[in-house]
Every structure is written in C-alpha cells, then in structure tokens.
Structure 1
Amino acid sequence: MAADKDAAFVLPRGATGFFQPKDGPLPEVGRRMFRAALYAAARAATGRVGQVEEQACPRTFHTGTVITSAGEHVVLCHAHRPWIAFAEELRDWYTDEFLAPPRWAHAFTGFGFAVFDRARLTTPLADVDTSLLTPGEWRDIRLYGITTLGGVLFNSWD
C-alpha cells in the first residue's frame, strides 16, 4: 500500500537529537553507512567524494560533499535516522536552505536512506505530527525559533 502523500510526517523519538538518559540512547546512523552511501552516490554522479565530517555534539547530522562537473553538492545525513537532505552550503544548522535532490540521489535509497526533497524539509511544523516530542524539545524549538521540519532535523542546538 502506498503512503498517503498528504499524511503528516511523524517526528519520531530522536528526530531533534535530544533524549533523556532514562529513555536509553538514540538510534545511530553510523559514519560507515553514510560514507558507503556517499561513495555510491558519487559513482552514480560520475563524481568524487569531497570532504566528509562525522556528527559531533551538538550537531544532529553528518555532512559530506560530492564533487561533479556541475559543482560541489552538500549532503546532510541525520545522525539518528536514515534521512538524507541536500543543502546550498556547509553549515552547523539549517532552517530552509535545502535544495532539491540531484538525479543521482537515488543511490542513497539502496543503503536504506530516505531522501527528503526541499518541499518536505520546508514543511511548517504546524503541518507535521509533533505528538511524540517532549516538552523539553518544544522548549528548544521555541527558543531557537525553528518553524520548519528541516530546521528541527538538521540542527546544532546546545
């Protein structure tokens, strides 16, 4: 059965990068898995991998670049969920600076990643199912003025 495109995206536990120690650690998307998918994507793009940086606290994502004849493409990989996004430039956090995935982004799906497009990432939080977020997560969302799904997923809150 196909997923309903109009159904609200559900933010699962770990999407913000915050957790309570009593709840146990968050799931992890390891750098090896991301790196392998990044190299496969570079091959599909007839390009090469540029820099790769593993997630470091407080950032919630790994980064990498794929260099093609069309230029350098910034790839973001959520550190706790297998989600990929593309951005205009390397930064420590994002709000709405996302790009449409290039044609070769399909290479990530073979490694179990979901590739998010700009429309999904710029979805207002009012249109996202946030019922699983804790009051602490909401406090930080409000404190940092985050209003989009991508801003919640690809952040560097402390």
Structure 2
Amino acid sequence: MTGFCSGKELKLPEVPVRTFRDGCYAAARAAGGAVERVFESAYPRNFHSAAIVAPNDRIAILCNAVYPWIAFAGAGAGDLESKAFVDPPAWAAAFAEIGFVVMSRQVLGSPLGSVDTAALGKAEWLQIDSWRPASVGEAVFNFWD
C-alpha cells in the first residue's frame, strides 16, 4: 500500500510510468481533452502524476508507483501534497479497461483503520506508525522518506 519494504521482504515491481502514461492518453481521448503533463514518481513521492485538461475541467491523476491504483484530485491540485481527492470522472473507465483500479473519493478519505491492513509488511507499519496517515489516501499516495 505505501510502497515501503524492508530488506527481508520481496520488493514489489513498480508500475511503469509508460503504462500510466498510456492510460492518461486513453483517458484524455475519452474526456475529449489533452494530457497536460506526466511526472514519474521520484523520491520521496511514491506516485506518478499527470494532469488532464478537458472542456471546462482540469483534473490531476495520481498512480501509486507500486500498485496499479488510480486516484483523482481537484483542479487546484498543482500542489499534490494537499491531495484534494475528488470522485472519478466518467472517463476514468479508460484506466480500468487497461487493468488499473480506480479508487473512489470515499475509499481514499476512509480512516486507515477501517480497511483490511493484514497484508502490510513490517516496513510499511514502521512508516505508518511514524507518519500517522489519517486516511487511506494519505497512506497510498505519500511523500514519506
């Protein structure tokens, strides 16, 4: 979930930025818009991001770098640290069609304790205990180091 693992845990493969980019272009076509930018995850950010500009709309897209999980943030999300999550637009189905899991605003805003966290590893729990994310979204899309 967080993308952290210890030396004893298997390192998970990353979601290639190219796969995310392909999803963004498919979504932009479905939205009748254009991809404004795509950024690959870079330390300490654990997610790729992009922006799509559609008629009367600009939306940020976040993709966890380890898990194929997609979230959407509001038009003012140039500061992605605020992660003002919004409901997925209708064109979010373009991501689901190529294997991504589109996360709802409701799930992202849920307290971390309200979801099954049994599969989290020791390194993830150390980070969670240190950073104390208030929601699922804060744990899944983070800037932790």
Q: Structures share a fold, TM > 0.5?
A: yes
Rate the CA distance shift 1:94–1:80 in 2: closer, same or farther, 3 A. Answer: farther
Q: Distance in 2 between matches of 1:141 and 1:91?
A: 22
Q: Indicate yes or no: 2:81 matched with 1:107.
A: no
**CA displacement at 1:135 relative to structure 2:** 4.0
Q: Distance in 2 between matches of 1:140 and 1:94?
A: 19
Runs of 4+ in 1 over 6 A off after TM superposition: none
Counterpart pick for 1:26 among 5, 12, 18:
12
Q: Is residue 92–residue 156 contact of structure 1 (8 Å, CA) maintained in 2?
A: no
Q: Distance in 2 between matches of 1:46 and 1:145?
A: 39
Q: Is residue 5–residue 122 contact of structure 2 (8 Å, CA) maintained in 1?
A: no
Counterpart pick for 1:60 among 42, 46, 51:
46
Counterpart pick for 1:153 among 118, 140, 144:
140
Question: SS where residue 129 of structure 1 aligns?
Answer: coil
Matched residue pairs, number? 143
Q: Deviations over 1:64-98 (max 9, x none)?
A: 01101122110001111111100120345456x21
* Greater mean deviation of Cα atoms: 45-54 or 124-133: 124-133
Question: SS where residue 70 of structure 2 aligns?
Answer: strand
Q: Given residue 113 of structure 2, which amino acid in structure 1 is its aligned partner?
A: A
Aligned match of 2:78: 90
**CA displacement at 1:131 relative to structure 2:** 1.7
Rate the CA distance shift 1:156–1:92 in 2: closer, same or farther, 3 A. Answer: farther
Q: Distance in 1 between matches of 2:82 and 2:7?
A: 26
Q: Is residue 74–residue 87 contact of structure 1 (8 Å, CA) maintained in 2?
A: yes
Uncovered stretches (5+) of structure 1, i.e. residues with no partner: 1-14
Question: SS where residue 8 of structure 2 aligns?
Answer: helix
Q: Indicate yes or no: 2:72 matched with 1:78.
A: no
TM-score normalised by structure 2 residue count: 0.90
Q: Is residue 40–residue 48 contact of structure 2 (8 Å, CA) maintained in 1?
A: yes
* Paired-residue identity, %: 43
Q: Is residue 53–residue 62 contact of structure 1 (8 Å, CA) maintained in 2?
A: yes
- Cα RMSD after superposing both structures: 1.6
Q: Is residue 93–residue 151 contact of structure 1 (8 Å, CA) maintained in 2?
A: no
